[in-house]
Structure 1
Amino acid sequence: MLRHEIAITLALNFDQVVAKIDLYKTYTPKEVQLLTHARVLKITALDQKTLKRQLLSFKNESQAKLDFNLGLASEGENTSYSNSLENQSTTWNVGLGLSYPLGGVKSSNNIKKAEIKLARLAQYKREQLLEINVQATTLKEKINLLMQMLKSNKKQISIAKARTVEERERYANGSGQASFVISAQNNEQNAQLGYAQVATNYQKAVLDFKATIDQLVR
């Protein structure tokens, strides 16, 4: 009977209401430090690393370059071409060359743009962390509240079952009425259905919490 009630409540076919998972399994929400491992934050951190590499490249391109040149030359003592190959003397030429990159304005603009993007990305990361933190905190409170409701529903089921047993005994002894037995049974079924509904909401909240802190995909 309870499966029929659950199927109607959740708009499912009767055959779909099967116990593939433990609907009443409890879960302890993780602490806030796990939020730093959220996938969206990892993606943002990767974007930051890429921008930092680009910024470093732009800065290197904008700097002057100092080149060290080392050359070897040979000179002959004779002035005529035919005798110049004789009595060669070897000399070393050492020089330093300083070069400046062209397009200095463009390079400076690239650096400024990269710095602005990094600042915006840092702000976006802070906003992401705050949003995830708020979502996780809200869902954690919801999970704890639903847990308290589950405990309360469990007590109601125990009371309803005891009442059903009591009414059946009275009816069997001839001191009760069939309508009281039916009413007690209905109350018990309603308590079980309410328990199942709260348990369903509880498991949904747990899945939402796990998705928020990105534990579903490691």
Structure 2
Amino acid sequence: MEIRGATLLPARREDIELRTADGLTLVGELAVPAHRDPVATLVTLHPLPTHGGFMDSHILRKAAARLPALADLAVLRFNTRGTVSPRGTSEGAFDGGALERHDVAAAMAFVRARGLPHPWIVGWSFGTELALKYGREHDIDGAILLSPPLHRATPDEVAAWAGDDRRLIALIPEFDDYLRPAEAVERFSSVPEATLIPVEGGKHLWVGESQTRRVLDEIVGAVNPSASPLPTEWDGPLG
């Protein structure tokens, strides 16, 4: 069968809770390969919750639905403070990216406690701001930025990644609403090691199966190259 938007492939899925340093409980889900240990871990940070972003934003939901089976990856999704999804509501209130520092730290503490291997932060839109601002504080292999708007991450916070051993990869949609490829080259010029990937025809929300596949292929190509390119068909049980 062809893998499409609603396809749910096999995985071990667990509802989880994260506890922040300032005393909040955040709700989330961990998905890991059904019959083996993961080779790497994606810690996903969702788009802006005040504009509809949450742990089920479609790229992150599809990553959790597909990548444990197709690429042996663990996928951690969670709602940042004050964010609502079908999984539930995380305590607290949206803080514009400031107190969300604790949310990122809580997710990384969970990864350490579970012994999940080779964590990568994958941020989308608002989630890229959190990745840029706070990712360097944690033991990660790298960060992947999907549609970074660079609204909240300051030039100094971006430049702080210069010389860092961890990889910084940004997917820049050709028709992004906030940051397009030519401007991205300028805005990330302070980090010569950064890999900028312009995506022809791409848009900020990555709508459509072709854009979903492109994004997931780029993620897997960075995190577990042996599983790239991802198959477009599945011959087996569903999740």
Q: TM-score, normalised by structure 2?
A: 0.18
Structure with the bigger percentage of helix: 1
Q: Which has the larger radius of gyration?
A: 1
Report the TM-score when normalising by structure 1: 0.19
Q: Structure with the greater relative contact order (CA < 8 A, sep ≥ 6): 1 or 2?
A: 1
